[in-house]
A and B are shown apart, each in its own frame.
Chain A
Amino acid sequence: MPSETKAPENYVEKPKTLAELREGIAAGSVKAVDLASTYYERIAQVNPRLNVYLSLTKERAMEQAAKVDAAAKRGDSLGPLAGIPVGVKDVLVMKGAPSTAGSKILKGYRPPYDATAVTKLEAAGAVLLGKLNCDEFAMGSSNENSAYGPVRNPMDTERVPGGSSGGSAAAVAANMAVATLGTDTGGSIRQPASFCGVVGVLPTYGRVSRYGLIAFASSLDRVGPFAANVRDAATMLGVIAGNDIHDATSSPAAVPDYAVESDKPVEGLRIGVPAEYFGEGLEPEVRANIENGIHALKAAGCTVKPVSLPHTRFAIPVYYLVATAEASANLARFDGVRYGYRSASSETLSAMYSHSRDEGFGAEVKRRILLGTYALSAGYYDAYYLKAQQVRRLLAEEFLRAFDEVDAIVTPTAPTPAFKIGEKTGDPLAMYLADIYTVTASLAGICGVTVPCGVTKAGLPVGMQVLAAHLNEGTAFRVARAVEAAK
């Protein structure tokens, strides 16, 4: 290793693969209860510094692990995630377990039901270890907006893990779970995956049920997995995807075997490279790593060609209008009446609403509620919200046209590697602008995978974003596998 390479702190550890663990569990050489215990020991050891888990669901996890062991002993057929330790972002509800969404306003809330993705994980045999830290209501790009303190990046604990699913990405990077669930509204899975050097999946809008996801922006919110390698991420998506009676926007399309799809060779695939994602603001070291990844795809037999996405520069304004407008409506439900925090100092109903919200929400959440309320208010609706929705269509159609010519589009996931904690907190707009490469796919509803694609001289991971058309996750996984294999 070159001498300028910064030695990582000992928090980075790669989990074993799903296939390896599951084989051991099925054969009885690995006990699911022992595996879960090992993970809880690891969490006890590193969580005080990394602040990845907000709460643990130990009783439920050990019960599930024991069930898996008993099934393995009986020789029953095991689910695809039998005995696999998995963490869940705290914006997804788990029955009886604290589910704060990183907010003070939900402190102490114990939901009476499970999110559909949680139900599906457990049905597949997963052992759910606990709830993972995140930006408050998934609003943020650095995990610094959590009411429970920032997550630290296992690669360099002075740096952010990205956000909003910072805990979900860091948990995999530090082997505090084999895989995790996160959510992505404008980049909240892909960007932390890039910052922590793990794989993160943005499924097509509607591919995974949003039931039990504490809503931020309903037309953009997605639930998706993190894992240490592409194939495991594909397996995870296969488990959680599918139509759900509880989510009217969930797609009825059949769910392919994504792991098998990811095994297919990439030879002959057409890969688009949009110049708009390689312009001003992209750090040279990030660019160099992504260009290496593109060369690797060429070497693997892909055809690489330029594509044009000229509306890209309008994506941040569109995203921050649409997302905040929807958030202002979604977060109206936190009023201190039915669940969560209620201010003690209120004589009237109206004062109770505003005191509870004022004391319960953090600064970024208030900022977004105000921006969204403003954009929806009388006199501004047409100029802001409607205009944003019109440009959203232009952005989406531009992607559809590009996918007539190519099978996948590759870009950097973020313009920089992980930045320092505190570096951007003073300037909300600068923080928003860093989402430039991820918000476009969010607005268009298409899918994507972030895959590790080299490191900087300082040892910080760089992630490549592989985008594919609606419901073409299989193609995105294939391309990501080829990038992964080239390392």
Chain B
Amino acid sequence: MTAKVTVEEVARVAELAHLELTPEESGAMLHDLNAILDHVAELNQLDTKGVVPLAQVSELEGAGGAAPLRQDAVLPSLDRAVVMPQAPETDQVFFKVPKVIER
């Protein structure tokens, strides 16, 4: 957990996140990530063996809980006619993107 991030790892993570970094950005991110991860390493001081991870606070006692799920019934949702105009490129039925398959 104290492992240093390398410039190759920054590039790989950027690729996973669909981000393109300039060499300057990449250098700055490398520096910042290492500084932050160094700080995060403090968590190693804690023995958390057997502690159940907490992903959602609603499950805690007295936290209010979540409402029961609604019935699985079809309800109206947003109309296509008001949604499609927000797309950068559309024929008002589909979202258009650059060609995926060459033929």
**A residues touching B (Cβ–Cβ < 8 Å)?**
109-113, 204-207, 219, 243, 245, 248-253, 311, 313-314, 316-318, 320-321, 328, 332, 335-342, 346-355, 357-358, 361, 363, 366-367, 369-371, 373-374, 377, 383-384, 386-394, 396-397, 400, 428-429, 432, 443-445, 469-471
Contact = CB atoms under 8 A, between A and B. Distances in A.
Interface residues of B, number: 58
Contact of A338 (B69, B87, B100): B87
Interface in B1-27: 1, 5, 9-10, 13-14, 16-21, 25
Contacts of B103: none
Given A113-B78, A205-B63, A317-B39, A337 B48 contact: no
A369 B42 contact: no
Interface in B61-103: 61-70, 78-79, 82-83, 86-89, 95, 97-100
B64 A112 contact: no
Contacts of A113: 78
Contacts of B42: 313-314, 317
Interface of B: 1, 5, 9-10, 13-14, 16-21, 25, 28-29, 32-33, 35-36, 39-43, 46, 48, 51-58, 60-70, 78-79, 82-83, 86-89, 95, 97-100
Given A317-B43, A341-B88, 17 more contacts: A204-B63, A204-B64, A248-B69, A251-B66, A251-B67, A317-B39, A317-B42, A321-B40, A332-B17, A335-B18, A337-B97, A340-B88, A366-B21, A377-B13, A383-B1, A387-B43, A393-B53
Given A112-B82, A354-B18, A374-B33, A314 B64 contact: no
Nearest to A328: B17
Given A317-B42, A374-B33, A383-B1, A361 B54 contact: no
Nearest to A433: B39
Label chain B's interface by main secondary structure: loop
A392 B97 CA distance: 41
Contact of A429 (B14, B36, B70): B36
A211 B7 CA distance: 38
| Residue from B33, B46, B67 with most neighbouring chain A CB atoms (10 Å) | B67
Nearest to A322: B55
A191 to B, nearest CB: 19
Contact of A470 (B21, B36, B54, B60): B60
